[in-house]
Amino acid sequence: MDALIVIFVSGIVAMFIAMTHKPLLVLATALVGLSVGIGLMVNQWYNPYLLFDYNGLAFGRGEVIYSVAAMTFALLIIAGGYTYFKREPEHTGEYISLILFSLTGALCMIGYTDLFMFFIGLEILSIPVYVLAGSKKKDLQSSEAGLKYFFTGAFATGILLFGTAWVYGATGTFDLRELSNILSEGTANGPLLFVGILMMMASFLFKVGAAPFHFWGPDVYAGSPNIITGYMASVVKMAGLYAFLKLFTYVFAPVSDLWSGALFGMIVLTMFVGNLSALRQTKFKRLLAYSSISNAGYALMAPMIISDASLFNLWIYLLGYGFAVIALIVISLIVNDESDDIESYKGIGRKNPWIGFVLVLSVLSLAGVPPLAGFFGKYMVFSSAFATYPILVILAVINSGIGVFYYLRFVMVALSSEDAEQAPVLKPCVLQWGVLAICAIGLLLSGYITL
């Protein structure tokens, strides 16, 4: 809870400091705020008596690990995107503080114990991202991305609210604990509740970009500034998927017969839509968008399994995914190519072996090659689902096989030795080197974390 306040306050401070037109100072404020926030969260892990249960928010151990990961990702995003933010010094503060505000929302979405707080968190998370998606004002695609994300997002929020209302109507409470008690007694079961749950599920799947609610994904990802794409793929996904896990796996578990069948179907659809569409992409960010759709499909297998281990499995999965995406996004900033063609990555492994190394690590981690984090995440999610849903796991493994095709093509472009002279000269700044190094270490080691 104190971390939440620190982050929100540092966002406000950053916004005011921006009036001095000193981007470096804004960056320093944000990084200090985030570091203090992470420190407070870690402290909470070691001192459980600090667990604070405000009406609607509680940070237990599960929440702490997700919050730390989300804050770390935000820190990497802000540090890695600084060269982009400072290009327009008068707007630097806005970018950075909007990201911090949105992160506040993400933390609310992670720590909620009340559907009401969850809704507020979702809005605080989403509205800054709508603005950020359209922040390249002179770029038509960016405006399109902002508008599209806003309209479809608002529609999904409406459905979520509607679903919440139905659930409230059936049970008479917003509180997760009471809700869980009522559901396990089974007194509230009926069409009112079921329709509400399904509506909530639909809007959740919209937020994480799962098929058939994925159509906004590629356009928004491709249109937004690169660094915001990275933010959406890492932090927003983490918050959305954890909120989903908390609500469905732990609260709606007694009625899992109702929603698990629907989720099963949508996971299969998501994986195939994501992977098959990614096969023919020639633009980097669209490739990333479809890969993120298919990854959402794999990640959604964790909430299917009603078990305490699901929480940790999903976390490891999202951790590996987040590091890989952030590394790729920072590399795309370094390459800095307007056309965003995959071909523009040609030969960067030759030109700058270290960047090539991180790129290969992150793509292979996305493809699930051991011993990288992506492999462990996939393995843990898949293997825990194997006993209950073997067919689903087999389909997911087939999809991983399809995925290798486009990931490998990307690696081959990046490592190709032909025309290496034409490869762009890359000048990453110190901060970006730092971010890439942290991502590489994360990709190599985070699979071995045990708690």
Partner 1 sequence: MELFAIPLVFALIALVAPKSKVNYVGLIGAVVSMVVSFIHVANFSPDQYVSLFAPDFMLPFGLTFKMGYDGIGLFMVVLTNVITSLILLSNLNREIAHNRAFNALVLLMQFGLLGVFTAMDGIMFYIFWELTLVPIFLISYWFGSADRKKPLMKFFIYTFVGSLAMLLSFMALGTYSNSFAYEDLLAAQLTAKTAFWVMCGFFLAFAIKIPLFPFHTWQPDTYTVSPMAGTMLLSALMLKMALYGMVRWMIPIAPEALDTLSCLVITLGMIGVVYAAVIAIKQSDIKRLFAFASISHVGLIAAGIMLFNKDALAGAFIQIANHSLVALGLFLAADILERRMGTRNMYDMGGVAKLAPKFGFWFAAVAFASVSVPLTSGFIGEFLLLKGVYNYSWIVGLVAGTTLVLGAVYTLRAYQISMFGAPKMEHFADLTWNEMLTFFIIMLIILVVGIYPQAIIDFVGPSLDLTIESVKGAKVIVQ
Q: Which residues bind partner 1 (CB under 8 A)?
A: 309, 312, 364, 367, 369-371, 375-376, 379-380, 382-384, 386-387, 390, 393-394, 397-398, 400-401, 404-405, 408-409, 412, 415, 417, 448, 450
The CB-of-255 to partner 1 minimum distance in angstroms stands at 26
Write the CA distances from 292 to 289, 316, 366, integer angstroms. 5, 16, 10
* Closer Cβ to partner 1, 180 or 294, answer by number: 294
Rounded to whole angstroms, the maximal C-alpha distance in the chain is 71
* The pair of three-digit structure tokens given for residue 207, joined into one six-digit string: 């937020």
Residues with Cβ within 8 Å of 342's Cβ and at least 6 positions away in sequence, in order, are 281, 282, 283, 284, 287, 409, 410, 413
* Closer Cβ to partner 1, 422 or 450, answer by number: 450
* Closer Cβ to partner 1, 6 or 380, answer by number: 380
Helix (H) or strand (E) holding 419: none
The CB-of-289 to partner 1 minimum distance in angstroms stands at 23
The CB-of-60 to partner 1 minimum distance in angstroms stands at 18
* Closer Cβ to partner 1, 166 or 321, answer by number: 321
The CB-of-245 to partner 1 minimum distance in angstroms stands at 17
Dump the DSSP string for 294-350.
HHHHHHTHHHHS-STHHHHHHHHHHHHHHHHHHHHHHHHHHH--TT-BGGGGTTHHH
C-alpha span between 434 and 440 (Å, rounded)? 10
* Closer Cβ to partner 1, 227 or 311, answer by number: 311
The CB-of-33 to partner 1 minimum distance in angstroms stands at 33
Q: Helix 2-17 crosses helix 92-111 at what angle (to 10 degrees)?
A: 170
The CB-of-222 to partner 1 minimum distance in angstroms stands at 26
* Closer Cβ to partner 1, 93 or 349, answer by number: 349
- Of 306, 173, 321, the C-alpha closest to 249 is 306
* Closer Cβ to partner 1, 140 or 387, answer by number: 387
Write the CA distances from 378 to 235, 249, 382, 441, integer angstroms. 19, 19, 6, 18
The CB-of-281 to partner 1 minimum distance in angstroms stands at 16
End-to-end CA distance of the chain: 22
Amino acid at the residue 434: G
- The length of the chain is 451
The CB-of-387 to partner 1 minimum distance in angstroms stands at 5
* Closer Cβ to partner 1, 3 or 414, answer by number: 414
The CB-of-380 to partner 1 minimum distance in angstroms stands at 5
The CB-of-386 to partner 1 minimum distance in angstroms stands at 4
- As beta bridge partners, residue 175 has 114
C-alpha span between 321 and 315 (Å, rounded)? 10
The CB-of-173 to partner 1 minimum distance in angstroms stands at 34
373, 319 in Cβ contact below 8 A? yes
Residues with Cβ within 8 Å of 307's Cβ and at least 6 positions away in sequence, in order, are 249, 384
134, 227 in Cβ contact below 8 A? no
* Closer Cβ to partner 1, 5 or 309, answer by number: 309
* Closer Cβ to partner 1, 140 or 451, answer by number: 451
386, 262 in Cβ contact below 8 A? no
SS3 68: helix
SS3 373: helix
* Closer Cβ to partner 1, 149 or 312, answer by number: 312
C-alpha span between 130 and 220 (Å, rounded)? 10
